[in-house]
Amino acid sequence: MAIQVELLDQTKDPMKSLYIAYRTAYSSLTPMQINKRIESGKITREKMEEFIERRLQTGHGSPLEQVWFEFGIAGVSRSFSHQFVRHRVGISFEQQSQRYVKFKDARFPYTVPQSVQRAGKAEQMEAAFEELGKLYQELLDAGVPAEDARFLLPNAASTNFKITVNFQELLHICDLRLCTRTQWEFRKVAAMMRAEVNRSVPELGMYLQPKCGERRWGYCDEDYEAWEACPIGRKRPHKRDMFKIFDSHRKGELIPLDAADFKLIEREDSGVA
C-alpha cells in the first residue's frame, strides 16, 4: 500500500496568527488592536513576514505552538507508527485500531521495504505474510477476539493516522526526521508533510528542514563518521569543526576570511535544503 499524506486543515491564517502572537509579546498594543491594524491594511503581509522572520532568528519558539496543522496519513507501517508516537509534545494522534478493525478474507495490507526487494527476499516475505493472514483468519473464525488475534500481525502491517500538530513540533519532527540518517519510511512521511505545508503556507514551509539546514541550526550534531558519510555533509559543517574554529578564534589563531571567501561560501551553500 502506497504512503499517503494530506493536509486536511490548518490555522485559518497562520501568518496572521503567528504575527499577532509574536507582536503581543513585543508591543504595548493589545492583541485586538494589533488585529485591527492588520485588518485595516496598516500592517501589510510583507511587514508581518519580516517581523516573523526576525523573531524566528532569535529562537523565540512559544508562539509557534499557536499555529496548527491537521494531517491524514495512510498506508504507513506499524514499524513507522512505533517511532511516530515517540513525538509527544505538541502533537495529538488518532490511529487505526487493530482491536476494533478486523482484516477480512485472510488479507492485511503491508509494506515490503526496498532493501528486502533488492536482497531478492520479497517473495519469501510476502509468502510468510500470506500464511500469517490465513492463520489470523482461522483465529477469528475460531472465536478468538481481534484484540488477541492481532498478536500475530507483523510490524509491516499497514496503519492509518489522523493527527494535529503545532508548528513548533512540526519543526522538531523535520529537524530529526529529514536527516539522511532517518529510517526511510519516516523520512518519506516527513518530506510529504513538508510538501503539503509548502503548498499551503510556503512562508512557513521553507523552515521545515533537517536540523543542519540554513534556516535551522546550520550544522550537524550527529557523530562525525555519519557526517562524513552524509551526501550533504560537505555543504553543512559538523559541530566538532565549528568548535575548532571557535577555539582558534579564541586563541587568536584564526585567519579572517576576506569578502571573496564569503562569496564563495555563499555560492557553494546556495540551493541546499
Catalytic residues: 177
Q: List the one residue out of 131, 161, 140, 121 whose CA is nearest residue 3.
A: 161
Separation CA 9–CA 200 (nearest Å): 10
Task: Return the bridge partners of 157, or none.
Answer: 110
Grid coordinates 481481534 are at which residue?
Answer: 146
Cα dist. 265→91, 190, 259 in Å? 37, 29, 10
Q: List the one residue out of 66, 1, 7, 3 whose CA is nearest residue 193.
A: 7
Task: Return the bridge partners of 72, or none.
Answer: 6, 162
Separation CA 218–CA 233 (nearest Å): 11
